[in-house]
Structure 1
Amino acid sequence: MANLFAKLPTDVSQEHFNDLLKSEHVRVERIVSYGQSSPEQGWYDQDENEWVIVLEGSATLAFEGGKSLELDKGDYLNIPAHQRHKVLTTAAKGATIWLAIFYR
């Protein structure tokens, strides 16, 4: 047994990605952000679909074409494979804890 909110990383200078479950078609990942955002030129363009929820904190996602979404605690969405997106902001104070499920 484990707890998503336990043993949070103490290094706030970077984002932390931890696989919780991994199989051939599904990967579950906990992401902990401390105010990080995607690099200026950095777009995620993934081969997998991604279902993501903010468990703690907040974030703003941008999508190619100009659309952006603000996510607060409990907000979730599905991002289809190859939909280019990036993280504009995460909460400046405290941790933003994400749960991401990648699937084919």
Structure 2
Amino acid sequence: MMQLTNDTYRILRLIYDEYQNRRKIGMSKTEAILFSYPSALQTEFLQGILEDDIADALTELSKNGLIKLYSDFGFLLKDSAIIYMENRLQNKVNLIFDIISKIVSMLH
């Protein structure tokens, strides 16, 4: 199971929301999955998040196979990230069941 820090998950959620907004206004998927470097993201939709924190999150997302990261820290949102976000409720339910299962097995 993929694990992301809370900060990175928050940024992924914001990126996914931006992707959805782009699709709603009629952008093609090919255009909607392309994102700029961190300082541009700050002005576009990640206001209030430090550029270094964005870069760290992008590195974490890249290591987890959710984005293709370019040398200028621009990136492409991969289908795996879109699928992950589309299934996030199921992911949370599965995590809860895993935790409950571990607790029950520890009690026996």
Interval containing the TM-score (normalised by the shorter chain): under 0.3
Q: Which has the higher contact order (CA 8 A, sep 6+)?
A: 1
The structure with the largest strand share of the pair is 1
